[in-house]
């Protein structure tokens, strides 16, 4: 055990180089050929398969698994990409335990679903490794579409529009394309620069110009885009973060989990990334889990997730919770933050109040608990920042209102992904919405 | 505890499980290991005349696999023993001396000349072996030289050679039949006429297992070319069961002892062969797939089943299924069964639905009241059993007979308690009306 490991406060380089490597290596290493065949053999080729229904992009799962089983791995990849051009990322990040694999009949039969996600990765990895492009662009239509946001929604939309022969410009405020694939997803789910490789694979079809560092509301206006393009797709994601709303929230060492994760994802050397010795994460979703697990993997001695409701209320799936527990993260329930404790402006701990449900309402019990902490992460949800829309588009519950095809209240403007109301904030759902909006745009332009 | 000692055409063995003439019985080393593992007997790998034959030095086997690469069918182009005759005879003698309680039968294949058979019978007798099996079954290689299935496909040759062998020796003679023939009863009848003590079947089925789509060579490929082989393993069991039953119930061969062979992998398979009239069984592919230890499962499984069913010894159940094998024309056409799905066991894969919908009688729902639900529509179900066969959950779908007097909602007719078969059916032009 090195001394660096136990350094108090927020410090970098707590671990030996190989410990970083181990911790941040592929969470699910790819299946080899034999493993893939064994896994594929388990699929029953169901009729009207429940797994397909459960996949937000509706991939023909029994078909692609059958193709893998018969040695037609590239054909399997095409089956996947036909529905989900980001099938490679989805294979890595989808919470399959609550999607396709939960619906798999073998989950019902023996509590062990077909490993759909990992099989999907076998096929998509093979196609990407072979540099195989399955789609050729239709004859140019001369139509130009602006896509704002190069996250999963924007990329899926851009690709489908390019397939139909349209000319697409993708703007993104960030320096790199990919959205949360590049800046948000836990590092161990998407290793070896996969997000950028996928952006390249998706845009290689041609007809897509990515313009990073260009923000709607800062560098361009919605009115300007509408004037200059035949249609606009908004895939803005959630740029805002919910505040704790407790005294001391602004102390040094209190940070937004998403910002810290973005920093982690961009760090060229994880050993340079500071992390607290005692870390508290406030929240109960995927972001809270990811922040906590990665803090632990960076060498934090104690990491505690505090969630204001019970285990069953957490947005993070049981599988994600187990993952956190297996990495040594403590998850505590029925606790809400009351006060951040600080000395000389630096966080030293957090005071939490026990909660309970009374008549369906969350109530404080008055009893408190203080946890020592030198780093506190807020992970209590992100919010949509509507300012760049200049009030021109109707919202619903703080996000963009769209119809079933992704049309907003404004003519020529579509939207999809996390920024629209009623979604489930998953990569795969963003892909589905981007794709469907592209079809709607295409229909409206032809 | 049930007595599984076997007494087959005068040959005693502690259990009815013999290893068939094939690589597992190729030499002393293998046979001793087999006996150590518990096998009741062996039929030694087929002997021939010197100079001994040669095998290819490339692949001998091809295969067909099921899910998880489970071996379902094996194909081989191996010939008979590729060792000198005397080496084999010496080993046989030693093994029989060391293992007196086990059955040692010697498989033979020599040219169709009486002197060849007479000579070799004398040599075999000298080993003290319990009997001989005449290999009239091998469908590849040897058949091109006028032996093996080339003999087994001509009943007159079978009868002739069997007679020569019987004349040359007092040893029990088992005639091994080839399935590569249109009606298995003819060679079996010929064997009986020639004086055979028993028949054994089946030998392998002529086959090509696969084609390499890059080289366009059949598998197994020897330097880019392939030759048909002999197919065996679980895939051939149904073919073998039928042939055993045909011989067991044929008027001319009824009572002729049968050694059942073909795809036997578990005690259950063995019991099925024996219920259809086999006095004992021989196993090859299962041993070649899993090793000799499987015989322990066979011994224990058979004993437990016999205990449970109150079968004191093998004779108590051998042939018990034979009277129930009949011709199609005698099946009861008044018997009506309908599929029923156990909703608690159903995992909603939908395979029964799509099988019935696309290829049969549109008798299984996929949606009921807007929900995914699979249920048999009795008014459409013809009771074909396809859904049972494609359902991945055992006993989830069962065929339930309709009680006499109840209504068959498909035909609108009341189920009759009477037996009525095709010979009596009004649609049969040559019907001999029941009334
Ligand atoms: C920490 C974390 C972990 C997650 N883990 C998972 C997971 O494991 N599995 C899963 O399925 N989902 C996960 N999610 C959710 C998933 O990442 C999102 O649902 C998905 O990325 C949404 O895609 P999107 O295209 O709508 O938005 P984003 O991916 O957020 O992309 C939006 C893009 O728009 C750009 N943008 C925003 N505003 C502007 C502007 N004004 N001008 C120009 N560009 C702009 C942004 O820079 C960004 O690139 C996670 C989310 C977080 C925060
Ligand atoms: C590799 C191989 C070689 C065989 N050689 C012989 C043989 O020499 N003589 C013989 O009578 N049968 C031979 N057979 C046939 C087997 O004895 C047996 O009849 C057949 O394999 C069916 O039984 P199974 O399904 O248990 O394998 C051979 C089978 C195999 C697989
Ligand atoms: S539900 Fe499971 S078994 Fe059925 S098709 Fe989908 S993956 Fe295969
Ligand atoms: S089974 Fe044995 S002899 Fe046959 S190919 Fe394999 S290693 Fe060689
Ligand atoms: S095949 Fe069997 S398990 Fe599948 S839906 Fe039909 S009854 Fe249910």
Render pLDDT for B149-197 as a digit per residue (tens, 0 to 9).
888 899 999 999 999 999 999 999 999 999 999 999 999 999 999 999 9
Model pLDDT, residue B248: 98
User: Nearest ligand, CA of residue B363?
Assistant: 5
Known catalytic membership, residue B387: no
- DSSP H helical ranges for A254-401: 257-266, 286-297, 318-326
Residue A383 has pLDDT above 80, yes or no: yes
| B249 and chain A in contact, CB less than 8 A | no
Taking the CB of residue B218, how many other CB atoms lie within 10 A of it?
A: 21
Lining ligand 3 with CB less than 6 A are A 43-46, 49-51, 61-62, 65, 104-106, 114, 116; B 349
Question: How far is B281 from B275, CA to CA, in rounded Å?
Answer: 11
Atom of ligand 2 nearest to the CA of B200: 19
Residue A264 backbone dihedrals phi, psi, to 5 degrees = -60, -45
Minimal Cα–Cα distance from B54 to chain A, Å? 35
Tell me the two tokens of residue B238. Answer: 């149904």
Question: How far is A293 from B208, CA to CA, in rounded Å?
Answer: 56
Is the alpha carbon torsion for B296, B298, B304, B310 positive or negative? negative
Q: Which residue on chain A is closest to B67 by alpha carbon?
A: A41
Q: Tell me: the pLDDT tens digits for A303-314? A: 999 999 999 999
Minimal Cα–Cα distance from B218 to chain A, Å? 19
Q: Using an 8 Å CB-CB cutoff, list chain B residues near A41.
A: 67-69
The enclosing H or E element of B67 equals none
Q: Position of tokens 């697409």?
A: A168
Tell me the two tokens of residue B143. Answer: 């058949």
Tell me the two tokens of residue B251. Answer: 């008027």
| B354 and chain A in contact, CB less than 8 A | yes
Question: How far is B191 from B253, CA to CA, in rounded Å?
Answer: 9
Nearest to A46 among B67, B69, B349 (CB): B349
Minimal Cα–Cα distance from B349 to chain A, Å? 5
The structural domains of chain A, ordered by start, are: 33-129 (1.10.1060.10), 144-239+384-445 (3.50.50.60), 241-381 (3.50.50.60)
How open is the CA angle A280-A282-A286, to the nearest 5 degrees?
110
Q: How many helices (H) and strands (E) does chain A have?
A: 17, 19
Q: Please give, one letter per residue, the 3-state secondary structure of A283-319.
A: CCCHHHHHHHHHHHHCCCCEEEEECCCCHHHCCCCHH
Model pLDDT, residue A242: 86
Q: Position of tokens 């579409």?
A: A145
Residue A113 has pLDDT above 90, yes or no: yes
Q: Which residue on chain B is closest to A111 by alpha carbon?
A: B347
In the Cβ-directed half-sphere of B140, how many Cα atoms lie within 13 Å?
A: 20
Model pLDDT, residue B146: 86
Q: Which of A261, A269, A252 is nearest to A287 (CA)?
A: A261
Residue A55 backbone dihedrals phi, psi, to 5 degrees = -80, 120
Q: Position of tokens 């081989």?
A: B76
Tell me the two tokens of residue A221. Answer: 């206006």
Mean predicted confidence (pLDDT) in A319-325? 94
Q: Tell me: the pLDDT tens digits for B37-65? A: 999 999 999 999 999 989 999 899 999 99
Residues 6+ apart with CB under 8 A from A307: A282, A283, A284, A288, A313, A314, A331, A332, A333, A334, A335
Lining ligand 2 with CB less than 6 A are B 20-23, 45-46, 74, 76, 78, 80, 107, 135, 137-138, 176, 203-204, 232-233, 236, 261-264, 283-286
Residue A276 backbone dihedrals phi, psi, to 5 degrees = -70, 160
Q: Tell me: the pLDDT tens digits for A228-278? A: 999 999 999 999 998 888 888 889 999 999 999 999 999 999 999 999 999
CB pair distance less than 8 Å for B349 and A37: no
- B41-74 CB burial, b ≥16 within 10 A, e <16: bbbbbbbbeeebbeeeeeebbbbbeeeeeebbbb
Q: Are A185 and A237 in contact (CB under 8 A)?
A: no
Question: How far is B155 from B168, CA to CA, in rounded Å?
Answer: 20
Question: How far is A424 from A399, CA to CA, in rounded Å?
Answer: 12
Query: Which of A148-162, A354-368, B240-254 shows the lowest per-residue confidence on average (mean pLDDT)?
Result: A354-368
Q: Using an 8 Å CB-CB cutoff, list chain A residues near B366.
A: 47-48
Residue B434 has pLDDT above 60, yes or no: no
CB pair distance less than 8 Å for A41 and B354: no
Taking the CB of residue A81, how many other CB atoms lie within 10 A of it?
A: 24
Beta bridge partners of A282: A306, A378
Model pLDDT, residue B282: 98
Give the 3-state secondary structure of residue B7. strand
Model pLDDT, residue B120: 97
Residue B435 has pLDDT above 70, yes or no: no
Beta strand ranges found along B93-232 (DSSP E): 103-108, 131-135, 173-176, 198-201, 205-207, 210-211, 218-219, 229-232
Q: Using an 8 Å CB-CB cutoff, list chain A residues near B351.
A: 44-47
Per-residue confidence band for B35, with pLDDT thresholds at 50, 70 and 90: very high
Give the 3-state secondary structure of residue B202. coil
Atom of ligand 5 nearest to the CA of B397: 7
| B350 and chain A in contact, CB less than 8 A | yes
Q: How many helices (H) and strands (E) does chain B have?
A: 12, 22
Q: Using an 8 Å CB-CB cutoff, list chain B residues near A49.
A: 349-350
Atom of ligand 2 nearest to the CA of B176: 11
Nearest to B366 among A42, A48, A105 (CB): A48
Residue A1 has pLDDT above 60, yes or no: no
Question: How far is B118 from B132, CA to CA, in rounded Å?
Answer: 13
Model pLDDT, residue A245: 84
Model pLDDT, residue A2: 53
Mean predicted confidence (pLDDT) in B419-427? 94
Q: Using an 8 Å CB-CB cutoff, list chain A residues near B347.
A: 105-106, 108-109
| A419 Cα: distance to centroid of ligand 1 (angstroms) | 9
| B370 and chain A in contact, CB less than 8 A | no
Mean predicted confidence (pLDDT) in A334-339? 96
Q: Is A161 exposed, middle or buried (0-12, 13-18, 19+ CB in 10 A)?
A: buried
User: Nearest ligand, CA of residue B135?
Assistant: 2
Residue B433 has pLDDT above 60, yes or no: no
| A46 and chain B in contact, CB less than 8 A | yes
* CA-atom Rg of chain B in angstroms: 25
Q: Tell me: the pLDDT tens digits for A148-201? A: 999 999 999 999 999 999 999 999 999 999 999 999 999 999 999 999 999 999
Question: How far is A109 from A116, CA to CA, in rounded Å?
Answer: 16
């Amino acid at each position: 055990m090195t001394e660096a490991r136990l350094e108090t406060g927020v410090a970098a380089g707590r671990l030996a180089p190989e410990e970083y490597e181990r911790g941040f290596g592929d969470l699910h290493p790819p299946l080899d050929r034999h493993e893939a065949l064994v896994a594929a053999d388990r699929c029953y080729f169901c009729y009207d398969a429940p797994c397909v229904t459960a996949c937000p992009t509706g991939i023909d799962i029994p078909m692609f698994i059958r193709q893998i089983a018969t040695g037609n791995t590239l054909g399997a990849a095409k089956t996947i990409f036909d529905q989900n051009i980001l099938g490679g990322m989805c294979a890595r990040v989808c919470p399959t335990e609550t999607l396709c694999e939960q619906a798999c009949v073998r989950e019902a039969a023996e509590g062990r679903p077909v490993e759909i996600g990992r099989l999907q990765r076998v096929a998509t990895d093979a196609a990407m490794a072979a540099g195989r492009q399955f789609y050729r662009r239709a004859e140019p239509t001369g139509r130009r579409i602006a896509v704002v946001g190069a996250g999963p929604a924007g990329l899926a939309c851009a690709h489908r529009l390019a397939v139909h022969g349209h000319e697409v410009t993708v703007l993104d405020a960030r320096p790199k394309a990919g959205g949360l694939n590049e800046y948000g997803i836990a590092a161990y789910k998407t290793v070896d620069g996969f997000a950028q490789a996928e952006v390249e694979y998706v845009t290689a079809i041609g007809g897509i110009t990515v313009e990073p560092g260009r923000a709607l509301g800062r560098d361009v206006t919605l009115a300007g885009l509408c004037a200059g393009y035949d249609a606009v797709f908004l895939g803005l994601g959630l740029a805002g973060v919910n505040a704790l709303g407790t005294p001391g929230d602004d102390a040094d060492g209190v940070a937004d989990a998403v910002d810290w994760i973005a920093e982690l994802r961009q760090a060229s050397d994880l050993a340079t990334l500071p992390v607290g010795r005692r870390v508290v994460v406030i929240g109960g979703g995927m972001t809270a889990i990811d922040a906590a697990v990665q803090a632990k993997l960076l060498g934090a001695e104690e990491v505690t997730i505090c969630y204001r409701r019970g285990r069953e209320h957490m947005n993070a799936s049981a599988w994600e919770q187990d993952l956190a527990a297996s990495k040594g993260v403590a998850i505590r329930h029925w606790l809400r933050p009351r006060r951040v404790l600080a000395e000389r402006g630096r966080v030293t701990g957090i005071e939490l109040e026990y909660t309970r449900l009374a008549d369906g309402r969350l109530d404080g019990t008055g009893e408190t608990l203080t946890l020592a902490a030198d780093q506190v992460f807020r992970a209590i949800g992100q919010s949509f920042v509507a300012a760049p829309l200049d009030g021109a588009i109707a919202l619903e519950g703080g996000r963009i209102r769209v119809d079933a095809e992704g049309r907003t209240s404004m003519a020529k403007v579509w939207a999809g992904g996390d920024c629209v109301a009623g979604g489930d904030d998953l990569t795969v759902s963003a892909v589905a919405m981007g794709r469907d909006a592209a079809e709607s745009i295409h229909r409206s332009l032809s | 505890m049930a007595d599984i000692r076997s007494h087959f055409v005068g040959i005693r063995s502690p259990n009815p499980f013999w290893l068939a003439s094939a690589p597992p019985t190729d030499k002393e080393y293998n046979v001793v290991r087999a006996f150590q593992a518990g096998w009741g007997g062996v039929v030694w790998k087929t002997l021939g005349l010197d100079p001994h034959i040669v095998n290819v030095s490339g692949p001998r086997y091809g295969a067909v696999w099921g899910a998880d690469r489970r071996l379902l069918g094996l194909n081989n182009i191996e010939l008979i023993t590729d060792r000198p005759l005397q080496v084999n005879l010496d080993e046989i003698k030693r093994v029989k001396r060391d293992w007196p309680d086990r059955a040692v039968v010697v498989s033979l294949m020599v040219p169709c000349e009486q002197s060849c058979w007479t000579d070799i019978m004398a040599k075999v007798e000298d080993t003290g072996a319990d009997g001989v099996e005449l290999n009239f079954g091998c469908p590849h290689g040897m058949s091109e030289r006028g032996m093996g299935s080339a003999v087994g496909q001509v009943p007159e040759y079978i009868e002739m050679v069997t007679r020569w062998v019987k004349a040359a020796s007092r040893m029990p003679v088992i005639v091994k039949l080839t399935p590569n023939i249109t009606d298995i009863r003819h060679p079996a009848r010929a064997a009986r006429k020639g004086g055979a003590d028993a028949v054994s079947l089946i030998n392998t089925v002529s086959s090509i297992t696969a084609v390499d789509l890059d080289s366009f060579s059949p598998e197994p490929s020897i330097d880019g070319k392939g030759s048909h082989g002999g197919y065996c393993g679980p895939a051939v069991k149904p073919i073998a069961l039928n042939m055993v039953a045909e011989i067991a119930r044929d008027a001319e061969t009824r009572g002729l002892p049968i050694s059942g062979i073909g795809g036997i992998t578990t005690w259950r398979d063995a019991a099925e062969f024996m219920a259809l009239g086999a006095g004992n069984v021989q196993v090859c592919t299962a041993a070649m797939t899993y090793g000799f230890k499987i015989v322990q499962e066979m011994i224990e499984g058979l004993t437990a089943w016999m205990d449970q069913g109150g079968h004191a010894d093998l004779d108590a159940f051998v042939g018990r299924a034979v009277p129930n094998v009949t011709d199609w024309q005698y099946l009861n056409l008044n018997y009506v069964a309908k599929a029923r799905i156990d909703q608690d066991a159903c995992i909603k894969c939908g395979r029964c639905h799509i099988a019935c919908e696309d290829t049969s009688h549109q008798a299984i729902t996929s949606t009921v009241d807007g929900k995914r639900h699979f249920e048999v529509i009795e008014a459409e179900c013809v009771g074909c059993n396809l859904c049972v066969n494609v359902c991945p959950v055992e006993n989830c779908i069962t065929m339930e007979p309709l009680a006499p007097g109840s209504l068959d909602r498909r035909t609108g007719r009341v189920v009759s308690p009477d037996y009525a078969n095709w010979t009596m059916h009004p649609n049969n032009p040559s019907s001999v009306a029941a009334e």
